[in-house]
Amino acid sequence: MDRLAITGGFRLEGQIPISGAKNAALPLMCASLLTKNKLTLSNLPHLADIKTLQMLLEGHGVKSTILQDGEKPGEGQVISFETPDITNTVAPYDIVRKMRASILVLGPLLAREGEATVSLPGGCAIGNRPIDLHLKGFEAMGAKIELEEGYVRASAPNGRLTGGKVHFPTVSVGATENILMAATLASGMTTIENAAREPEISDLAHCLNAMGAEITGIGTRTLEVKGKETLHGAEYAVMPDRIEAGSYAIAAAMTRGEIELIGDNLLDVMTGTVGVLKEAGVDFKETDNGVIVTLGSEKIKGVDVTTQPYPGFPTDMQAQLMAMMTQCDSASVINESIFENRFMHVPELCRMGADITMHGSTAIVRGVDQLLGAPVMATDLRASMSLVLAGLVADRQTFVNRIYHLDRGYERLVEKLSAVGAKITRDANLGI
Ligand code: UD1
């Protein structure tokens, strides 16, 4: 397996183009199942998860054509997705187990074909992650749900879902997206209450409207969807990745550097992250092309944070913030309220000399003078990034193993960090 070798201690300076958001791209690709016509998506990042979903979609009859490979840094891919007929309504275990977001084919398949069978995604490194909210939502739209041999079989009586009221007791990004997509082709009105408000959901809703859907309340807790007989094709550009942007903002602050993040409306979509980073002493200055990030204070200030659904501080930034807080002037309290087991980076950061104690879902991070490079192991996508960030300021070399997690979610990580002065290489087959 490959590993990353990072020599810490270099100040980062320059520009980093922010890629299209993985978490927006995946549901947008699934939305292509809702129409016979072509959905052309631009600004798609080159990521393992995009390829995995492409493969899954092809199994359902989607013809995807790469119109622009986006090989230059800062350029995304342009891919068209066309599904004249759904050739198969089964999403197999082999692919679904690799990527939980595969569950997002369930809504579109069920809505267009009146039936779908999708493997249960199973557990995952950051917690149980059930799909009960998705399933209850489909039931509220008249679907019959059966669980059999590790698969969810969903069917709509008379072949079409009916609009209804879907109230989520807990905010769920994936469930909101799945129900939203399904509702666009259901008969009648669907109201989604306590919907997630993440910008990726608004991105999906705007794309669906461009495809002929009628969704109102975008960006609020209540989405209203007037179902249509059919949707049509569209062209749509994926929004920038606010988690990638936040991760590089932290890299700028930790290395006392100055990085211009290149992308549209970054500060708007990064609300929760920017608020907390400002408290920690980070400065953001908007430019014509994006935003310049620097550390405005002498030292990073300790902050007390609880992860929350948007617009709160995102759970997907928790591990990276923790790496940053290992360098704070005092102590920081980080509470994880979304996923029950999202602290697997803690023992690895401690191996690098961090001072972190855990109390249930709360971590107390005391700032240390210097992290020390060490061989470490990535356990999930964002945990992996926290180890990279720690490596950027650690004394001597850090080797990050199992970097296939990073390949799932950070486009051209080595290239982007090297361009701003980081000493980072990818060593083929040297990892464990
Ligand atoms: C999405 C993001 C992920 C992010 C998460 C929270 C994608 C591809 N992934 O994941 O990066 O960390 O949002 O912002 O966009 N839950 C249930 N039952 C359900 C569904 C969820 O109990 O049916 C719980 C989960 O276990 C979790 C919470 O709800 O505790 C939020 O999960 P959810 O928002 O659904 O996360 P994902 O959509 O899986």
Note the pLDDT tens digit of each residue in 396-410.
999 999 998 899 999
- Ligand 1 atom at minimal distance to the Cα of residue 309: 14
Q: Are 77 and 66 in contact (CB under 8 A)?
A: yes
Confidence (pLDDT) at 62: 98
Mean pLDDT of the region 68-80: 87
Mean pLDDT of the region 376-404: 94
Q: How confident is the model at residue 125 (pLDDT cuts 50, 70, 90)?
A: low
CA–CA distance from 169 to each of 74, 132, 172, 203, 416 (Å)?
39, 11, 9, 23, 40
| Alpha helices (runs of H) in 104-263, residue ranges in sequence order | 106-113, 132-140, 173-183, 199-210, 242-254
- Ligand 1 atom at minimal distance to the Cα of residue 316: 12
List the beta strands (DSSP E) in 250-336: 258-262, 282-286, 290-295, 304-306, 331-335
Question: For the chain, what percent of residues have pLDDT higher than 70?
Answer: 98
- How far is the C-alpha of 337 from the C-alpha of 312, rounded, in Å? 11
Q: Are 349 and 278 in contact (CB under 8 A)?
A: no
Mean pLDDT of the region 82-102: 94
Q: How confident is the model at residue 255 (pLDDT cuts 50, 70, 90)?
A: very high
Percent of residues in the chain assigned helix, strand, coil, to nearest 5: 35, 30, 35
Coil, strand or helix at 351: helix
Reference 227, options 238, 212, 241; nearest CA is: 212
75 has pLDDT over 90? no
Q: How far is the CA of 292 from the centre of ligand 1 (A)?
A: 31
Residue 423 tokens, joined: 């000493």
Mean pLDDT of the region 306-313: 97
287 has pLDDT over 90? yes
Q: Mutation test of ligand 1: which of 338, 344, 408 has the most ligand atoms closer than 8 Å to its C-beta?
A: 338
338 has pLDDT over 90? yes
Mean pLDDT of the region 95-114: 95
431 has pLDDT over 90? no
Coil, strand or helix at 306: strand
Q: Tell whether pTM > 0.95.
A: yes
Reference 413, options 24, 396, 422, 324; nearest CA is: 422
- How far is the C-alpha of 257 from the C-alpha of 286, rounded, in Å? 16
Looking at ligand 1, which residue's alpha carbon is closest to its atom 3? Answer: 316
Q: How far is the CA of 270 from the centre of ligand 1 (A)?
A: 18
CA–CA distance from 134 to each of 52, 110, 166 (Å)?
21, 12, 10
124, 207, 328, 350: the catalytic one is 124
Pocket of ligand 1 (CB under 6 A): 23, 26, 100-101, 127-134, 170, 172-175, 196, 314-316, 338-339
Confidence (pLDDT) at 124: 58
Bigger pLDDT: 45 or 158? 45
Mean pLDDT of the region 40-50: 96
- Ligand 1 atom at minimal distance to the Cα of residue 129: 26
Q: How far is the CA of 173 from the centre of ligand 1 (A)?
A: 5
- Ligand 1 atom at minimal distance to the Cα of residue 338: 30
Torsion angle of alpha carbons 57, 236, 290, 260, nearest 10°?
30
Mean pLDDT of the region 304-312: 97
Residue with tokens 């980080």: 334
Q: How far is the CA of 129 from the centre of ligand 1 (A)?
A: 7
Q: Are 363 and 357 in contact (CB under 8 A)?
A: yes
Looking at ligand 1, which residue's alpha carbon is closest to its atom 35? Answer: 172
Average pLDDT across the chain, whole number: 95
Confidence (pLDDT) at 177: 98
71 has pLDDT over 90? no
Mean pLDDT of the region 311-331: 97
Q: How far is the CA of 368 from the centre of ligand 1 (A)?
A: 33
Q: How confident is the model at residue 123 (pLDDT cuts 50, 70, 90)?
A: low
101 has pLDDT over 70? yes
Confidence (pLDDT) at 70: 86
Catalytic residue status for 350: no
Looking at ligand 1, which residue's alpha carbon is closest to its atom 32? Answer: 172
414 has pLDDT over 70? yes
30 has pLDDT over 70? yes
